[in-house]
Structure 1
Amino acid sequence: MSRKMLPLYAGLVATVSVMLWTPAGVAQAKPVYMDSSLPVAQRVDDLVGKMTLAEKVSQMQNHAVAIPRLDVPEYDWWSEGLHGIARSGYATVFPQAIGLAATWDIPLMHQVATTISTEARAKNAEALRHDNHSIYFGLDIWSPNINIFRDPRWGRGQETYGEDPFLTSRLGVAFVEGLQGDDPHYYKTIATPKHYVVHSGPESTRHTANIDVSPHDLEDTYLPAFRATVKEAKAGSVMCAYNAIDGEPACANTFLLSDMLRKTWGFKGYVTSDCGAIGDVAEGHKFAPDMEHAAAVSVKAGTDTSCGDEYASLTKAVKDGLISEAEIDQSVKRLFTARFELGLFDPAAKVAYARIPFSEDDSVAHRELARVVAEKSMVLLKNDGILPLKKDVKTIAVIGPNAAALAAIEGNYNAIPSHPILPLSGMEAKFAGRARILYAQGSPYVSELMVPVPRTLLHPAKGSAAFGLKGEYFDNIELTGKPMVTRVDQQVDFDWNAAAPVPEVKATEFGVRWTGTITPPVPGKYEFSFRRDAKGARVFLDGKQVTEEQAQGKKHSRRGEPFVLDLSDGQAHDLRIEYSHHASLFDAGLSLEWKPPVEAERAEAVKIAKQADIVVAFVGLSPNLEGEEMPVHVEGFDGGDRTEIELPAVQKEMLEAVAATGKPVVVVLMNGSALAVKWAKDNAAAVLEAWYPGEEGGAAIANTLAGDNNPAGRLPITFYAGTKELPPFDDYSMAKRTYRYFTGSTLWGFGYGLSYSKFKWNDVKLSAEKLTAGEPLTLDAEVENTGSAKGDAVSEIYLKAPASATAPIHSLVGFVRTPLDGHARQHVHVVIDPRSLSTVAADGKRSIEAGEYSIFVGGAQPDADEGGVTKQFTIVGSKALPR
């Protein structure tokens, strides 16, 4: 019997008691809810029926406390798995979600999500063996983020699958199904598509903004991916957003949660709030007079659990008559249904997923998959023939702030990589024995902010030619006794969140001492600081302490107070950094950052460019600049969002300076959102979009530049020509946005991507020249690799509907990625479902309308690929479709 069918049989099975025997021989009745042979609904009813009101309310917050008298263990609903199981120790780190989308590969997306859920299960089982019920170790995964990336300025767009509702829907369905597994009785994990709905910036107003979205845009753009993940993939959970829609906060919105999600789409799972969103119902949106009323109205609307403690007020709300205990029961039953369907109250012998060994976490096979996915996410935007790099290239200058920055491969909401391969390391490994690698940081991201201190400043001892500092790792916070491990760390840039830095120490108690020298690029006084666990760090210059350890009781900050090192003589100085981490499982790690001298940095880049045959410049953005509600307020960036989409000036000036040497420049972009890089398009020899590519990102980039990986990724977003092309950021209308409605200038369009091969499409046939409204349309074609290099063809299928006031220019309605040997052909068969042939009227009604249509199949949008083919067909009659 399917886990979805079990609740239907609740009333068909009589209540039973199973007799258990204690060691003393006294018979005890086994409660119904512990009998795994009974239907889930019956077990849930029995358990919730035994709870007091206070106990029920205690289960409606993200950290549900234990109820010892009922043998209910504590459980935390909050776990993250956007592109790897996050914040819970080492796990496989795949490319950031926007990079996953760039693969345009549905089966691969399913494989990634399956791997993530496998590691989640492995981590959960290991945690339970150690009685760890902490946040981030549960089985409810608050992913995927399927909001539409409508504007490139949104800092969290990196977490999404891009700007197109169809691409997002298909990838979202594959991801949800991969997370939830295929067992007929148990979830592997529970997926949580978020943030429902119309949520895509600005970050600065998300707690207060009300969005009066048009009925057309709601149905045409913002809802389709949520509908697909709920109706097709059967997502077990949904997260409601911070913002309000049409005057009602998303987490207290009866139309969205009750009418649309549950009644229209048939959603049976539970809804969780975004963190603090219930508080926003009262404080941000002023929709309720206080927290008690906010909690009551949110539960009534359909939000079952709060991320935070706001629902603690529900006990009083029931006593004050704001909500009934029966309404509380409904939410609690949904929550416990999820826990039972995860098998959390059943013997591990019955739940195959519970027996996944911990060795599956961060495994060699999963690491290999991360490399494959990163390679498939690479999007080649320009190539004048310089790529793949020729065998006669003997010296390569690697420059740029992203060449050796851990954050630039991690992205945000990231897992913790045990062996991260930074771009610089990837280049050195790939070209070892073939070409010499020279390195200079060359530039900060923006002139006002700090970047990780590059290895070129550091040496493990005076007179040493090696880069980095000697690192000694201790199993105590006093840094006493013999170090457990001694090694040379090229940079102090580490993420050890819930992880031990080396296997020989505990994640909750260790110390590290780094020693060596620091030499400035030019004499001066330099500003430094620490990122991540700054409170545990101390710095000594020439034996003198120059920082004070922050008090352990001080509110934790991811960035420490700036400090100055006087390097005015320009000489090498002894440097010692001591770091202690104690008690907390989370937030360990340290990154030493500095504010570099821009002119000196640029001069060093020019110097090595002159010595090289070619320059590879790693430029772009950082998840420390773009992301969720961040304290960043400098030119071009505001609170996690961007105010300008152009490449920051200091990086552009570095590119111009190295290009002036006459050496060819290959630009590698690393970012989570579109960049306006007109200079690179006009002047660089090649441009490769690498996103935030995950733990194997450095290897994937190097393999692509060397030609061992033939890039075939496609843009899931439009790369606009400049900020001036965009509507106001806080305007949620889709007019003049995304490839479907934008008519202005672009650098590279949605769906664009080059290869080291060429492809064309032949023998394109449609299943009907005249199609009755409501029937599917089938497209068959032969795709041919006309080049000699093995590569992947990405067949993109676009529909152009009859012109109307609301119809898009054209829309993606199908895609498939096909590997082909050189000069090989492959049959492509795509079924376009009736819903994809529909359009949405101004009133939000979706229908298939009569008229003349065209279908294009090729490797990009119709106006960007000469190898594609267009076919015409007619739809006869019309048909209204449900929401």
Structure 2
Amino acid sequence: MNFNTAKLMAKKIVSKMTIEEKASQLLYNSPAIERLGIHEYNWWNESSHGVARAGTATVFPHSIGLAATFDPERIFEVADVISTEARVKFNQHDKRSDYDIYKGLTFWAPNINIFRDPRWGRGQETLGEDPFLTSVMATAYINGIQGDGEFLKAAACSKHFAVHSGPESQRHSFDAKVNMHDLWETYLPAFEKTVEGGVVGVMGAYNRINGEPCCANYGLLSEILRQKWRFEGYVTSDCGALKDIVTGHKCASSTEEAAAMALKSGCDLNCGDVYSKLIDAYEEDLITEEDITNAAEHLYTIRFLLGEFEQNHPYKDLPYDLLDCKKHRELNLKTAEESIVLLKNENNFLPINRDVEKIAVVGPNAISVAALEGNYYGYASEYITVADGIRREFPDSDIKVERGCKLVKEKLCDWNGFSNMYSDGVAAAESADITVLCLGLDCTVEGEEIQGADNEYLDHGDRKSLFLPETQQKLAEMVCDVCENVIVVLMCGGSIDVGEKVRNHAKAILCSWYPGAIGGLAIAKILSGKANPCGRLPITVYYGDDVMPDFSDYSMHGRTYRYMTSKPLYPFGYGLSYTDFNYANGCVSYVDSEKVTIDIEIANTGKFSGTEKMQVYAEFSDSRTATPHFQLCAVNAIRLESGESKMISVDIDRYWLKAVLPDGTRTDPDGGITLYIGGSQPDRVSSELTGKQCIKLKL
């Protein structure tokens, strides 16, 4: 069913509703209209890295880990599995007339906000700091969620529109001040590209932009989204965001006024209860019946596209056995392996021999399930922690496991115990041949507006420091004092510096993000060499003592690899492998006004088979405006056996080769364009870390 047909059917059914019935359908928990054969429907569901919050489902690596694969095709596969499981679960819920929250087919994912500041706790939900990578990975995810059948497999939703990335403690009243250059170069492109890619939902953000609440912002929701970009889907508020218009932003004096502001600006659906006052707003002449009708038609267009009113529901024959099945777990494991980023491998210490006699697995995330999950997760059928995975991969080794310390808070033991565990962790490390230090965070301390997560290290789920928490720093340094062979495994949602002493002492450092339900096995396979690391950083990892811009400053100056002025610890796009790849014979083979095509030969010159993550960056300047140091403009994942080579062709959308003027206009730069092709960014630090230079092509 195409949009036009769905629109006509939506118009027909909405025309049969009274104004009160139409208004009721604009609430996320839409009630039934029995006389029209319409059952209740709850629009709120989550699927960031698996169907969330409603029973069993495959729990994939969290979004930041998915981004680290640098592989849109892999993300499409993941999202296709998520939507398959979504239909399986929906079929069972529908069969039992269970239309509760988290039971529907409208998913409020992906989160495509730009991870501009490493302190933001929700960065784990995003696809990183780069607008191009976010755009291509999100579009692949959306295509996998929505499918290409006659009906939508499920409905994706790009969020949070727009300019939203903390601070969490202020989000209900925060005004993001942003200039037009940064708005159109950094904060809007992923939304524009996912609309172009066919996403059917967009969620407004909590914050204001330059004084106007995002969920009641006519310029954003109507002029840009619907008129400029020709968006045809539905717009929802974030949950409670319309109430914030009154209580947080103080842009409306009453709930009725807030409801009217949002509806007339283009917000179709309210996650919350402000739209329960729509009839009051109508009776006060703040809105018209046509305003309500238009929003209801947008919503019912989506419900028709999902096949809700078909006699035979689409995808109804998908069996329950598909939930978290063997095939899906195999994809989960492969994805987790490909998301892990090898940051250091001194003298090729990894992979380690499987006959190592004694291994200590130490740290608060050694046997943590929460560190596998991240936030917005479902329940998996099986969890494999790091310690579990190491036991499976090293069955003949003597393995000791100790937590060593708490995630954040340090104190002496009280009657409950399990607080001061340093000596236990150090004892395990001292007697081991190799210690795997499992450090980082989890969703109990890092995430979305976490109440109670407010101390010297945390601020409502955001972080105040780019170092490890002091408890873990203390443990890590004590372990380094007693064990020569230390491997650090970081499990976190963003940039963490383990400190100079640990950095220098560790033989290897891996960033595994929140790697999903069986991520511990993926980590172990990387350690044993059964899997070859190929992840790349979708963010910059900063030195812990780097002086960051003010968290609430939304200017891009000094932020991310594109505009930072300090030296990164590990640059965006960086990641090591157990093998070597060589680039040669690069050329520009085609140019027109829409795209540029480049050809390049890539060879695996090492001893291991592996997957190379080819990256293309553009460098350009313009006398009229600020331009990035570099701009990622193409990615490709290439699997090569040892000794194998391939000639690869990659298309570059010229959208990403444009300079953005101070008024937000995109135009050809007046200073020329240079393209760089390689396995990393073409910056100096990447070259120092990898020992390689990118191929350089003048356009």
Fold match by TM threshold 0.5: yes
Q: Which residue of 2 aligns with 1:753?
A: 575
SS at match of 1:607: helix
- Alignment deviations for residues 448-506 of structure 1 (CA, whole Å, 9 cap, x no partner): 58xxxxxxxxxxxxxxxxxxxxxxxxxxxxxxxxxxxxxxxxxxxxxxxxxxxxxxxxx
Judge conservation of contact 2:583–2:695 (CA < 8 Å) in 1. Answer: no
Cα distance in 2 for residues equivalent to 1:665 and 1:262:
54
Q: Call closer, same or farther: CA 1:658–1:328 in 2, change over 3 Å.
A: same
Match of 1:241 among 201, 205, 208: 205
Shift of 1:852: 2.7
In structure 2, do the counterparts of structure 1 residues 391 and 89 end up closer, same or farther at CA, with 3 Å as the change threshold?
closer
Please give the per-residue CA displacement for 1:337-389, whole angstroms capped at 9, x wherever unaligned.
Answer: 110110000012xx432332222222111111111110010100000122101
Once the two structures are superposed, the pairs formed by residues 468-483 of structure 1 within 5 Å of their partners are: none
Q: Distance in 1 between matches of 2:98 and 2:445?
A: 33
Decide whether aligned partners of structure 1 residues 775 and 179 sit closer, same or farther in structure 2, where only a CA change above 3 A counts: closer
| CA deviation after TM superposition for structure 1 residue 651, in Å | 0.8
| Letter paired with 1:421 | I
**Paired AA for residue 173 in structure 2:** T
Asked if residue 873 in structure 1 is aligned to residue 698 in structure 2, the reply is yes
Residue 655 (structure 1) aligns with: 476
In structure 2, the residue matched to 1:822 is: 642
Letter in 1 for 2:357: K
* Residue 3 of structure 1: aligned partner: 2
Q: Counterparts of 1:51 and 1:802 in 2: how far apart (Å)?
A: 56
1:803 positional shift: 5.2
Deviations 1:263-295 (A, max 9, x none): 000000110000000101111111111111100
Following superposition, the deviation at residue 611 of structure 1 comes to 1.5
Correspondence for 1:794: 613
Deviations 1:494-530 (A, max 9, x none): xxxxxxxxxxxxxxxxxxxxxxxxxxxx9x6434xxx
Deviation of 1:788 after TM superposition, in Å, equals 1.0
Letter of the 2:186 counterpart: T
Task: Note if 1:393 corresponds to 2:356.
Answer: yes
Contact 2:145 2:153 in 1 (8 A): yes
Write the mapping of 1:22-421 to structure 2, written as runs, cut at 5 A.
40-183=6-149, 185-231=150-196, 233-348=197-312, 351-384=313-346, 385-421=348-384
What one-letter code is carried by the residue in structure 2 that aligns with 1:871?
Answer: K
Q: Does the CA-based 8 Å contact 1:725-1:745 persist in structure 2? A: no
Paired residues for 1:856-867 under 5 Å: 856-863=676-683, 864-865=686-687, 866-867=691-692
Contact 2:206 2:238 in 1 (8 A): yes
Query: Secondary structure at the residue paired with 1:311?
Result: helix
With over 3 angstroms needed to count, the CA separation of the structure-2 counterparts of 1:437 and 1:223, relative to structure 1, is: same
Structure 1 residue 703 corresponds to structure 2 residue 512:
no
CA distance in 1, matches of 2:538, 2:510: 15
Shift of 1:605: 1.4
Aligned positions of 1:10-21 closer than 5 A: none
Contact 2:135-2:194 within 8 A present in 1 as well: yes
Q: Which residue of 2 aligns with 1:728?
A: 550
SS at match of 1:720: coil
* Structure 1 residues 50 and 852, CA gap change in structure 2 (3 angstroms): closer
Who is 1:435 aligned against?
397
SS at match of 2:477: helix
Counterparts of 2:300 and 2:545, CA distance in 1: 48
- Cα distance change of structure 1 residues 797 and 736 upon mapping to structure 2, 3 Å threshold: same
Give the Cα–Cα distance (whole angstroms) in 2 for the partners of residues 723 and 868 of structure 1: 28
* Whole-angstrom CA distance in 1 between matches of 2:419 and 2:321: 42
Equivalent pair of 2:354/2:393 in contact (CA under 8 Å): no
TM-score, scaled relative to structure 2: 0.97
SS of the residue 1:673 aligns to:
coil
1:616 paired to 2:582 = no
The separation in 2 between residues aligned to 1:429 and 1:193, in whole angstroms, is 39
Question: 1:56 and 1:41 mapped to 2: Cα distance?
Answer: 16
1:430-509 map, 5 Å: 430-432=393-395, 434-448=396-410
- Tell me the CA shift for residue 676 of structure 1: 1.8
Task: Select 2:415's aligned residue among 503, 518, 526.
Answer: 526
Per-residue deviation, 1:175: 0.5
Displacement after TM superposition at 1:392 (Å):
4.3
Letter in 2 for 1:214: N
Is the contact made by 1:609 and 1:663 (CA closer than 8 Å) also made in structure 2? no
Residue in 1 aligned with 2:600?
781
Compute the displacement of 1:743 (Å): 2.0
Other-structure match for 1:425: 388
Matched, 1:636 2:457: yes
Q: Distance in 1 between matches of 2:159 and 2:606?
A: 42
The CA distance in 2 between the partners of 1:616 and 1:412, in whole Å, is 25
| 8 A Cα contact 1:796 1:860, kept in partner | yes
Identity fraction in percent: 44
Deviates more, 1:354-363 or 1:828-837: 354-363
Q: Secondary structure at the match of 1:80?
A: coil
Q: What is the CA distance between 1:723 and its match in structure 2? A: 4.6
Instruction: Give the CA deviation at 1:745.
Output: 2.1
SS in 1 for 2:202: strand
1:843 is matched with 663
Measured in 2, the distance between the counterparts of 1:5 and 1:822 equals 51
Determine the C-alpha separation between the residues in 2 that align with 1:640 and 1:850. Answer: 43
Distance 1:715 1:754 in 2: 10
CA contact (8 A) 1:859 1:868 kept: no
In the alignment of these two chains, the number of paired residues is 690
Shift of 1:678: 3.2
- Any unmatched runs of 5+ in structure 2? none
Task: Write the distance in 2 (CA, Å) between the matches of 1:809 and 1:60.
Answer: 45
* Structure 1 residue 850, shift from structure 2 partner: 3.8
Q: Hey, what's the Cα distance between the residues in 2 that align with 1:655 and 1:448? A: 14
CA distance in 1, matches of 2:571, 2:696: 22
Output one character per residue of 1:3-50: Cα deviation in whole Å (capped at 9) or x when no partner: 1342xxxxxxxxxxxxxxxxxxxxxxxxxxxxxxxxx33332222122
> What letter corresponds to residue 223 of structure 1 in structure 2?
L
Provide TM-score, normalisation by structure 1.
0.77
Q: Provide the rounded CA distance (Å) in 2 between the counterparts of 1:85 and 1:391.
A: 36
Matched letter for residue 229 of structure 1: T
How far apart in 2 are the matches of 1:325 and 1:336? 16
Task: State whether residues 404 and 424 of structure 1, in contact with CA within 8 Å, keep that contact through their aligned partners in structure 2.
Answer: yes
Give, as a single letter, the amino acid of the residue that structure 1 aligns with 2:264. K
Q: Aligned with 1:832: secondary structure?
A: strand
The letter of the residue matching 1:140 is T
CA RMSD, 1 decimal: 1.4
Instruction: Please give the secondary structure, in 2, of the residue aligned with 1:746.
Output: coil
Q: 2:391 is aligned with what amino acid?
A: E
Give the Å deviation of 1:775. Answer: 4.6
Q: Deviations over 1:534-555 (max 9, x none)?
A: xxxxxxxxxxxxxxxxxxxxxx
Amino acid of the structure 2 residue aligned with 1:732? Y
Contact persistence 1:279–1:294 (CA under 8 A): yes
Aligned AA (2:448): E
**Selected match of 2:419 from 596, 606, 612:** 596
Q: In the aligned structure 1, how far is the partner of 2:117 from the partner of 2:671?
A: 32
Q: CA deviation at 1:319?
A: 1.1
